[in-house]
A and B are shown apart, each in its own frame.
Chain A
Amino acid sequence: MTAPDPRHDTLERRMPRADPAAATALERTWRDPPGIIGWFAAINHKTISKRFMVTTILFFLAGGVLALLIRLQLAQPNAGIIGPDRYNQIFTMHGSTMMFLFAVPVMQAVATYLIPLMIGARSLAFPRLNAYAYWIFTMGGIMLYAAFFVDAGPDAGWFAYVPLSGPQYSPGKRVDFWAQMITFTELSGLMEAVVIITTILKLRAPGMSLNRMPLYVWTMLVTSFMVLFAMPSVMLASTALITDRLVGTHFYNPGEGGDALLWQHLFWFFGHPEVYLIFIPPLGFISSIVATFARRPVVGYPAMVLALVTTAFLAFGLWVHHMFATNLPELGKTFFTAASLIIAVPSAVQIFCWIATLGSGRLHVKTPLLFVLAFFFILVLGGLTGLMLASVSLDTQLHDTFFVVAHLHYVLLGGAVFPLFGAFYYWFPKFTGRLLNERLGRWNFWLFFIGFNVTFFPMHLLGLWGMPRRVYTYPAEMGWGDMNLVASIGAATIAASVLLFLVNVARSLRVGAVAGPDPWGAGTLEWSVASPPPMGNFEVIPVVHGRYPLWQPQPEPTHVEGMSNEWREVLVTTVADAEPDHRLWMPSSSVWPFLSALATTVLFVGSIFTPWAVVWAAVPVAVATTIWFWPRRAVVRERVRSELRP
C-alpha cells in the first residue's frame, strides 16, 4: 500500500513506500535461503556483489604485498632478499593480479550492486549467471595463487610475450596456469558484461529513458559493450598460447610459419581497451560524487555521454602504440600516434564538464570528493606522460624502462584506484548502513596521495636515466639507489594508508555513524531506499521523471502497482524509452551455478595437465548446467496459474 498523498515533502516520504505487510512479504520473497547450502545458493545481486567486492579487494591486498616485496628488493643496489627466479614470479603475479583479478573485476563487482538500485530494478537480468561468473572468477584467482605458493607461479610478465612464454623458453606449467587464469577471468568478465547490458537495457524503471540514466550507468553500459569486443581477443590469444605449449600447435612459432607478433597484436587489441575498461567506470563514480558534493547536476550531460562513447570507439584504435618498438611499418605507427593523441579530446571534454560543475556548485569537501580531486591531478600527469609515449621516437628510447612503469601507475591508480576509494567512501553507507569515519578517511587520503607521488614520481627520473623495468637488482655504480629508496619509502606510506582504510572499515562496521537512506543528500534512486537496501531493493517500483529523481518534484504517477510481492517478479521495459512492457519471473536461489562453476574449474585446471580433460570434464559441466536450467514442477505450477500470454 502506498502513502495517501504521493507528493511528499520530507526525505523519507519523497519516494512512495509499501505498507509493512507488503514489504515483509517482498523481503521474504527475495531473500536467499539460510544455512551453509543456502550460502552457496545465494544469487541476490547485492549478496554476490559484496562477496565479489571483498574478493577483488583481497586480491588487491595480495597484489599490494607483492608490490611491497618488489620495493623491498629494489630499495638498495645489489640487494639479495629475493632471487631472480622468485622476483620474476613476483612481478608477474603483481601485474596479473592487479589487472585481471582486481582492476577490471572490481568495477564489475561494484556495478552489479549499484546498477539495479540506480535504475529502479529489483534484480539483475540473469542473477544465476551473475553468481556463476563470480564463482568462476574466484576459483580462477585461487588457482593462480595456489600455483604461486607451490613455486609454479607465472614468470613471463603480465602480458606474457612469446617467445619467452612459449614452450621453448618457459617449460613447465607456470605459464599454463597464467593462460588458464585468463580463461577463468575473461569468461567471468564476459558473462558479467552480458548481465549488465541486459539489465541496463531491459530492467530500467518506467520513465527512465536512456537520456535520463545516471552517468554512472552510462559508463557501465559503454564499458560492458567494450568488454564484448575486447576480451575475446585475449581469450583467443591465451588459448592459442596454451595449445602451442600443450598440444604442439605453431601459432607463435616462427620455425613452422607462426609469428611472435601475432601474440602482441591479439594481446594489445584486448590490452589497450582494457585500460579503458578500468578507467571508464571510475568516470561514472566521479560523475556521481561530483554532482552530490557540488550539489548540482553534472554540466553537459549529452557531451559527457558522447565523450564516453567516443572514448570507447577510439580505445580500439590504439593498440599498436604498445608495439612501437617492433618492426611494424612506420606509416602505420603514425596512425596510432594520431589516434593516441586524439583520445585526449573526449577525456578533456569530461574533465572540463566536471570543472564547470565544481566551479558553479556549492562544494562540500568530504573524503569522496578529495579522492576525486586527486584524480584530476594524478590523471592529468599520467595523461601527459601518455602523450609523450605516444611519440614513436620518444617511446623507442623509453620503452621497457621505469618511465613506463611510472606512466602506467599514474594512469591506473590515478584514473581508477583513487576514484574507486572515493566510491567506497561514498557508497559504503549504502552497502552497510554506516558511514566511514571522516577523520580516518582524511588520513587515508593524504597518506595515499603523498605516498603515491613519492613512490611513482621518482620512477619517471629512473626511467629517463635508463633503468629498465623487471630487473631484480642493479649495481650501485648506476646511481639509481637514492631514487629507488625514495620510491620504496613511498610504497610503505601507501601500505600504511591502505591499512588505515581497513581499520576504518572494520571500525565503522561496528561503531560508524548510522547513515539513513540518503546521508549525502544525493539525487539518484539508490539513495531513495534504506541503507542497506531491502532484499527486493524497492518496496514499490518508482516511476522516473528526470535525471535526479530525488532532487526534483515527483509528478504523478509516482510508482507502479500490480507487481507481485509473493514471487520474484521484475518489470521489463522498452530499450529506449523505458515504457512498461511485461512482467517477468526471476529464477529462485540455486546451488547449481556454484556447482557448475566447480565443474568448469575441473575442466579448465584439468586441461592444463591433459587435453582429454576438455572431453571427460565436459560431462559434469553439461550435467550441472542442465540441472541448473531444468525448471521445478512445483514452481512452474505456481507460475502458470498467474501467466498472461503476450
Chain B
Amino acid sequence: MNALEQNRAAGKEAVRRGAALDVSGMPTFAFSTRSPMWWGTMGLVAIESTVFALTIMAYFYLRSHATVWPMSRFPPDLLWGNLNTAILLASMWPNHKAKQAAERLDLHGVRLWMTVCMVFSLAFLAVRVFEFGALNTRWDSDAYGSVVWMLLGLHTTHLVTDAYDSLVLTVLMFTGPHEGKRFVDVSENAGYWYFVVLSWLPIYAVIYWGARF
C-alpha cells in the first residue's frame, strides 16, 4: 500500500468511528444559491443595480431643477424603444429554456437555446443603434441629453458585455472541453440575462416616459 492509499484507509477508519465527516460522496458542482457563482453574479447585479438606480436619481434630480423637460423639447421617438423592449422581453423565453436545459444537464438543449439567444442579441443590439438615433438629443446638447445618453449608454454596455459573455459560452458549448460545472455557468449566465432585461424596464420607462410626463 502506498502512502496515498494508507491515507485513504485511515480517513475511512476515522469516518467509521465518527471522528470525521465524510464528504467524498458529495457532488462536485451545484446550481442556484448552492453555487458560489450564483453569489458572485448576484454581487454584480447588486453593484450594477445601484449604478442604474443612482443614474435614474440623477435624471430626476436634474429634472427637478429644470424649467423645461426635456430641455431639447422633443422626447425620444417611441418606435425603436418599444420594439426593443418587446425583443428584450421575448428573449427571456429562449433564455429560460437555456437555463432549464442547463439544469437538466442537457447539452443539446443548451446549444439550441443559447443559439436562439444569440440571434436575439443580434436583434436587440441592432435596434439599440436606432434607439440612440431616435433620442432627439445629443450628449453634449444639455444636461438632459447627457443623462439620457448616460442611461442608454450604461444599459448598452450591459447588452454588449452580456452578448459577448453569452457568445463565448455558446462557442464553448459547441467546441468543448465539456464538464458539469459549465452547466452552472450557463445557468448563471441566464440569470444575469434576466437582470439585463428586467433592469431595462425602469430605464425604458425613465428614458421614454420620463420625458413625456
A binds B: yes
What is the minimal beta-carbon distance from B66 to any residue of chain A, in angstroms?
Answer: 5
List A residues 543-568 near B (Cβ within 8 Å): 543, 556-563, 565
The reply to whether B20 and A2 form a contact with Cβ atoms under 8 Å apart is: yes
The reply to whether A228 and B11 form a contact with Cβ atoms under 8 Å apart is: no
What is the minimal beta-carbon distance from A554 to any residue of chain B, in angstroms?
Answer: 10
With a cutoff of 8 Å between Cβ atoms, the chain A residues found around residue B36 in the complex are 125-126, 198, 202-203, 572, 584
**A313 in contact (CB, < 8 A):** no
The reply to whether B140 and A582 form a contact with Cβ atoms under 8 Å apart is: no
**Interface hit among B90-98, B113-121, B171-179, B200-208:** B171-179
Q: In the complex, how many residues of chain B place their beta carbon closer than 8 angstroms to a beta carbon of chain A?
A: 67
With a cutoff of 8 Å between Cβ atoms, the chain A residues found around residue B4 in the complex are 21-22, 25
With a cutoff of 8 Å between Cβ atoms, the chain A residues found around residue B62 in the complex are 251, 257-259, 262
Q: Within the assembled complex, what's the spacing in Å between the Cα atoms of A244 and B140?
A: 9
List B residues 118-161 near A (Cβ within 8 Å): 139-147, 149-150
List A residues 569-585 near B (Cβ within 8 Å): 571-572, 574-575, 580-585
With a cutoff of 8 Å between Cβ atoms, the chain A residues found around residue B50 in the complex are 228-229, 232-233
**A85 in contact (CB, < 8 A):** no
The reply to whether B146 and A249 form a contact with Cβ atoms under 8 Å apart is: yes
**B105 in contact (CB, < 8 A):** yes
**A330 in contact (CB, < 8 A):** no
Q: Within the assembled complex, what's the spacing in Å between the Cα atoms of A193 and B46?
A: 11
The reply to whether A581 and B26 form a contact with Cβ atoms under 8 Å apart is: yes
What is the minimal beta-carbon distance from A28 to any residue of chain B, in angstroms?
Answer: 13
**A1 in contact (CB, < 8 A):** yes
The reply to whether B27 and A645 form a contact with Cβ atoms under 8 Å apart is: yes
| Given A19-B7, A22-B7, A249-B149, A644 and B27 contact (CB-CB distance below 8 Å) | yes
With a cutoff of 8 Å between Cβ atoms, the chain A residues found around residue B145 in the complex are 249-250
Q: Within the assembled complex, what's the spacing in Å between the Cα atoms of A558 and B178?
A: 36
What is the minimal beta-carbon distance from B171 to any residue of chain A, in angstroms?
Answer: 9
**B39 in contact (CB, < 8 A):** yes
**B61 in contact (CB, < 8 A):** yes
**B29 in contact (CB, < 8 A):** yes
Contact among B22, B43, B65, B142 for A250, CB-based, below 8 A: B142
The reply to whether B3 and A251 form a contact with Cβ atoms under 8 Å apart is: no
What is the minimal beta-carbon distance from A433 to any residue of chain B, in angstroms?
Answer: 26
With a cutoff of 8 Å between Cβ atoms, the chain A residues found around residue B46 in the complex are 228-229
Flag B9-24 by CB within 8 Å of A: 1 or 0 each: 0111011011111111
Q: How many A-B residue pairs have CB under 8 A?
A: 232
The reply to whether B43 and A194 form a contact with Cβ atoms under 8 Å apart is: yes
| Given A253-B143, A256-B143, A582 and B29 contact (CB-CB distance below 8 Å) | yes
The reply to whether B144 and A257 form a contact with Cβ atoms under 8 Å apart is: yes
The reply to whether B142 and A582 form a contact with Cβ atoms under 8 Å apart is: no
**A510 in contact (CB, < 8 A):** no
**Interface hit among A358-366, A484-492, A624-632:** A624-632
Q: Within the assembled complex, what's the spacing in Å between the Cα atoms of A259 and B17?
A: 71
Please report whether the interface of chain A is mostly helix, strand, loop or mixed according to DSSP: mixed
The reply to whether A265 and B61 form a contact with Cβ atoms under 8 Å apart is: yes
The reply to whether A198 and B39 form a contact with Cβ atoms under 8 Å apart is: yes
Q: Within the assembled complex, what's the spacing in Å between the Cα atoms of A253 and B142?
A: 9
The reply to whether A637 and B177 form a contact with Cβ atoms under 8 Å apart is: yes
With a cutoff of 8 Å between Cβ atoms, the chain B residues found around residue A9 in the complex are none
**Interface hit among A133-141, A235-243, A321-329, A461-469:** A235-243
With a cutoff of 8 Å between Cβ atoms, the chain A residues found around residue B43 in the complex are 193-194, 197-198, 228
The reply to whether B140 and A248 form a contact with Cβ atoms under 8 Å apart is: yes
The reply to whether A251 and B147 form a contact with Cβ atoms under 8 Å apart is: yes
| Given A572-B34, A622-B164, A251 and B58 contact (CB-CB distance below 8 Å) | yes
| Given A1-B11, A257-B65, A582 and B21 contact (CB-CB distance below 8 Å) | no
The reply to whether A202 and B142 form a contact with Cβ atoms under 8 Å apart is: no
Flag A611-646 by CB within 8 Å of B: 1 or 0 each: 000000000001000100111110011011011111
**B47 in contact (CB, < 8 A):** yes
With a cutoff of 8 Å between Cβ atoms, the chain B residues found around residue A505 in the complex are none
The reply to whether A633 and B177 form a contact with Cβ atoms under 8 Å apart is: yes
With a cutoff of 8 Å between Cβ atoms, the chain A residues found around residue B19 in the complex are 2, 6, 556-559
The reply to whether A642 and B21 form a contact with Cβ atoms under 8 Å apart is: no
The reply to whether A262 and B58 form a contact with Cβ atoms under 8 Å apart is: yes
Contact among B30, B142, B172 for A630, CB-based, below 8 A: B172
Q: Within the assembled complex, what's the spacing in Å between the Cα atoms of A574 and B46?
A: 21
Contact among A125, A253, A256, A631 for B179, CB-based, below 8 A: A631
What is the minimal beta-carbon distance from A237 to any residue of chain B, in angstroms?
Answer: 9
Q: Within the assembled complex, what's the spacing in Å between the Cα atoms of A236 and B22?
A: 48
Contact among B14, B58, B180 for A643, CB-based, below 8 A: B180
**A247 in contact (CB, < 8 A):** yes
The reply to whether A257 and B11 form a contact with Cβ atoms under 8 Å apart is: no
**A597 in contact (CB, < 8 A):** no
**A341 in contact (CB, < 8 A):** no
The reply to whether B21 and A257 form a contact with Cβ atoms under 8 Å apart is: no
With a cutoff of 8 Å between Cβ atoms, the chain A residues found around residue B61 in the complex are 259, 262, 265
**B197 in contact (CB, < 8 A):** no
With a cutoff of 8 Å between Cβ atoms, the chain A residues found around residue B30 in the complex are 572, 581-582, 646
| Given A561-B21, A622-B164, A583 and B143 contact (CB-CB distance below 8 Å) | no
| Given A21-B3, A249-B150, A585-B181, A198 and B40 contact (CB-CB distance below 8 Å) | yes
Q: Within the assembled complex, what's the spacing in Å between the Cα atoms of A390 and B100?
A: 54
**A305 in contact (CB, < 8 A):** no
Q: Within the assembled complex, what's the spacing in Å between the Cα atoms of A543 and B135?
A: 59
The reply to whether B28 and A19 form a contact with Cβ atoms under 8 Å apart is: no
Q: Within the assembled complex, what's the spacing in Å between the Cα atoms of A584 and B26?
A: 10
The reply to whether A2 and B14 form a contact with Cβ atoms under 8 Å apart is: yes
The reply to whether B179 and A562 form a contact with Cβ atoms under 8 Å apart is: no
**A190 in contact (CB, < 8 A):** yes
| Given A228-B46, A249-B150, A582-B29, A257 and B142 contact (CB-CB distance below 8 Å) | yes
With a cutoff of 8 Å between Cβ atoms, the chain B residues found around residue A593 in the complex are none
**B78 in contact (CB, < 8 A):** no
**B54 in contact (CB, < 8 A):** yes
Which chain B residue has the least Cβ–Cβ distance from A125? B36
Q: Within the assembled complex, what's the spacing in Å between the Cα atoms of A259 and B62?
A: 7
Which chain B residue has the least Cβ–Cβ distance from A562? B24
The reply to whether A646 and B29 form a contact with Cβ atoms under 8 Å apart is: yes
| Given A243-B146, A257-B66, A642-B28, A125 and B40 contact (CB-CB distance below 8 Å) | yes
**B51 in contact (CB, < 8 A):** yes
Instruction: Report 13 cross-chain contacts, Cβ distance below 8 Å, ordered by A residue.
Output: A21-B6, A201-B39, A229-B46, A233-B54, A243-B146, A257-B66, A257-B144, A265-B61, A543-B21, A557-B19, A558-B20, A559-B19, A582-B26
* Contacts from B to A (Cβ < 8 Å): 3-4, 6-7, 10-12, 14-15, 17-31, 33-36, 39-40, 43-44, 46-48, 50-51, 54-55, 58, 61-62, 65-66, 71, 105, 139-147, 149-150, 164, 168, 172, 176-182
* Contacts from A to B (Cβ < 8 Å): 1-2, 6, 16, 18-19, 21-22, 25, 125-126, 129, 190, 193-195, 197-198, 201-203, 206, 228-229, 231-233, 235-236, 239-240, 243-244, 247-251, 253, 256-259, 262, 265-266, 269, 540, 543, 556-563, 565, 571-572, 574-575, 580-585, 622, 626, 629-633, 636-637, 639-640, 642-646
